[in-house]
Amino acid sequence: MEQAYNILLYYCYTQIEDPETFRDEHHELCLSLNLRGRIIVAAEGLNGTVSGLKADTERYMEAVKADPRFAHIDFKVEPYHKHSFAKLHVRVKPEIVHSDLHHINPNQRTGIHLSPAEFKKLKDAEDVVILDVRSNYEHAVGKFKNAVTLDIENFRDFPQKISELEQYKGKKIITYCTGGIKCEKASAFLLEQGFENVYQLHGGIIKYAIEEGGEDFEGKCYVFDGRVIADVNKVNPKVISTCYVCGTACDRMVNCANPDCNVHVPICEKCGWEMEGACSAECKSHPKKRPYDGTGYYVKESNGYNPFLNAKRAKKNQSAANCLTEEV
């Protein structure tokens, strides 16, 4: 299958003085390049994952890096055969990843960045602890061999688990996540709490897969696009999750067809069809149950979604401002 598209995963902690204006300009850039995806803009930086034709994503990366604020941004690039998103959303939020650690600036202090090659050499040492800082549903379907995982529903719960990590204070702790962004604040928080030997896998699981073949990552990597999960281990792959319904080995993630439940769990293909995409008999008979197409992935209702709408509003507001300036 021809891989005519690219999926980009990226983030950059940098100061953005006027996030609203930057959002409008960035939205226009993405529209001009026919990109789709989710992008978050905040005063502390930029975080995104988008898909587009290879030539368009190349132009996008060039345009972003041409801005001095993002000159050092690290794009993780994965070839794909189609758009991995149905829509484009560019939003302004308080943080580029929700952590509630607003006081931490990764540009001032954070864990030592390890390249994928350095991580591979160090990960099996006796004095090393590999710490997964992702949520339950992410590490349930895939994680590094022997990694320490935390029972958290969202990354903002991470600080509450610090007491569970006290036993590792004398060791080297290497944090990891999907693309590296959560580790920036997680590793900085560990340092703040008195942990001394703190490292992080630069570029996360995705970069490690691209550069080192994903060795010893067991299962699949949960991703935040239409793929839901991605194969990352080309060396010694292994399935670690089981079907939520029947218990057989399975790493196929499904959203329950009942939107009021919407639990995200592994469900094998056989049970998926038998349960019509539902995780239980109750959900299967629920009056709001969505039609199951074999994927278990449901695009949210568009409600008249128009990718140009916010761009038009921005232009309208600017025109109004120009008129007022001329009148004065």
Catalytic one among 12, 30, 177, 250? 177
Q: Which of 110, 111, 117, 148 is nearest to 130 (CA)?
A: 148
For the chain, the structural domain boundaries read 1-96+302-328, 112-222, 241-297
How much is the pLDDT for 50?
Answer: 98
Cβ–Cβ under 8 Å, residues 160 and 96: no
Which residues of the chain have a pLDDT value below 70? 300-328
How much is the pLDDT for 218?
Answer: 98
How much is the pLDDT for 1?
Answer: 80
Helical segments of the chain, H only: 19-32, 54-66, 116-122, 136-141, 181-192, 204-212, 269-274, 281-284, 309-327
With vertex at residue 207, the alpha carbon angle to CA 202 and CA 211, rounded to the nearest 5 degrees, is 115
pLDDT digits 0-9 by tens, 138-166: 999 999 999 999 999 999 999 999 999 99
- Top-level class of domain 1-96+302-328: alpha beta
How much is the pLDDT for 328?
Answer: 39
How much is the pLDDT for 118?
Answer: 98
Cβ–Cβ under 8 Å, residues 185 and 99: yes
pLDDT digits 0-9 by tens, 227-255: 889 999 999 999 999 999 999 999 999 99
DSSP 285: T
250 is catalytic: no
Tell me whether the CATH fold assigned to 1-96+302-328 matches the one assigned to 112-222: no
How much is the pLDDT for 297?
Answer: 83
| CATH architecture of the domain with residue range 112-222 | 3-Layer(aba) Sandwich (3.40)
